[in-house]
Amino acid sequence: MLPKFTYKKFPYTVIRPLALVYEKQIIKFAEKKGINRLICKCPYGQNSKRLEIRQVIDSLSKKDKTIRLNIFNSMNNVNIEYLVPEVRK
């Protein structure tokens, strides 16, 4: 999901302000501020597509240190129509 996404059919915009912040930075900040970390109890969280993609990115990052930055930068100029084609009747 993009850092900012506006639905065409609904009056909603989703904003993810921490989308471009490294998880390590968020964890460090939370620890510094004494914010407790919640552990996901969802049974699907242990075997999710998100976890799978995280592992792929971690693996690629070992070979190329710029991979995460490249992925982040790719979110800056996205044509939504290429990602979600309109459903035609």
Q: What's the first-to-final CA gap in the chain, in angstroms?
A: 25
DSSP 62: H
**Beta-carbon-side half-sphere exposure of residue 3 (alpha carbons within 13 Å):** 13
Q: What is the CA radius of gyration of the chain?
A: 16
- Tell which wins on pLDDT, 76 or 15: 15
Break the chain into its structural domains and give their ranges. Answer: 1-38, 45-76
Q: Whole-model pTM?
A: 0.58
- The token duo for 89 is 């009747």
User: How far apart are the C-alpha atoms of 67 and 60, rounded to whole Å?
Assistant: 7
Render pLDDT for 32-78 as a digit per residue (tens, 0 to 9): 999 988 777 777 767 778 888 889 999 999 999 899 888 888 877 77
